[in-house]
Amino acid sequence: MTLLSFDHVSRRYSVGGSEVHALDDVSVTIDAGEFVSVIGPSGSGKSTFMNLCGCLDTPSDGRVTIDGVDVAGMGEERLSELRNERIGFVFQQFNLLARTSALDNVALPLIYSGVKRKARHIEAMRVLERVGLGEWANHHPSQLSGGQQQRVAIARALVNEPVLILADEPTGALDSHTSAEIMCLFQELNGQGISIVLVTHEQDIAAASSRKLNFRDGKVLSDERIEQTLFLEPGLEATA
Ligand SMILES: Nc1ncnc2c1ncn2[C@@H]1O[C@H](COP(=O)(O)OP(=O)(O)O)[C@@H](O)[C@H]1O
Ligand SMILES: [Mg+2]
Pocket test for ligand 1, best of 6, 10, 13 (most atoms within 8 A of CB): 13
The rounded mean pLDDT for the chain is 94
The alpha carbon of 61 and the centre of ligand 1 are apart by a number of angstroms equal to 16
Q: For ligand 1, what atom is nearest to the CA of residue 14? A: 4
Give the pLDDT of residue 69: 85
Q: How many CB atoms lie within 10 A of CB 8?
A: 12
Convert the pLDDT of each residue in 79-130 to its tens digit.
888 899 899 999 999 999 999 999 999 999 999 889 999 999 999 999 999 9
The alpha carbon of 92 and the centre of ligand 2 are apart by a number of angstroms equal to 10
Compute the 3-state secondary structure of the chain and give helix, strand, coil in percent, each to the nearest 5.
35, 30, 35
Q: Domains of the chain by range and CATH? A: 2-225 (3.40.50.300)
Convert the pLDDT of each residue in 29-51 to its tens digit.
999 999 999 999 999 999 999 99
Region at 170 (left for phi over 0; alpha for psi -120 to 50; beta for the rest):
alpha
Atom 18 of ligand 1, residue of closest alpha carbon = 47
Question: Are the C-beta atoms of residues 173 and 165 closer than 8 Å to each other?
Answer: no
The alpha carbon of 185 and the centre of ligand 2 are apart by a number of angstroms equal to 22
Q: For ligand 1, what atom is nearest to the CA of residue 40? A: 22
Percent of the chain residues topping a pLDDT of 90? 85
* Nearest ligand for residue 214 CA: 1
Q: Which residues line ligand 1 (CB under 6 A)?
A: 13, 15, 20, 22, 40, 42-48
The alpha carbon of 43 and the centre of ligand 1 are apart by a number of angstroms equal to 5
Atom 4 of ligand 1, residue of closest alpha carbon = 13
Stretch 17-27: mean pLDDT, rounded? 96
pLDDT surpassing 80 at residue 192: yes
Atom 9 of ligand 1, residue of closest alpha carbon = 22
pLDDT surpassing 70 at residue 8: yes
Atom 20 of ligand 1, residue of closest alpha carbon = 43
Give the pLDDT of residue 23: 98
Stretch 171-193: mean pLDDT, rounded? 96
pLDDT surpassing 80 at residue 187: yes
Give the pLDDT of residue 71: 87
The alpha carbon of 200 and the centre of ligand 1 are apart by a number of angstroms equal to 16
Helix axes 146-158, 176-191, angle to 10 degrees: 20
Backbone angles phi, psi at 17, to 5 degrees: 85, -10
pLDDT surpassing 70 at residue 24: yes
pLDDT surpassing 70 at residue 234: no
Give the pLDDT of residue 240: 45
Q: For ligand 1, what atom is nearest to the CA of residue 42? A: 23
Half-sphere exposure of 39 (CA within 13 A, CB side): 16
Backbone angles phi, psi at 131, to 5 degrees: -100, 10
Question: How many angstroms separate the CA atoms of 113 and 177, rounded?
Answer: 35
Alpha-carbon 154 to chain mean position: 9
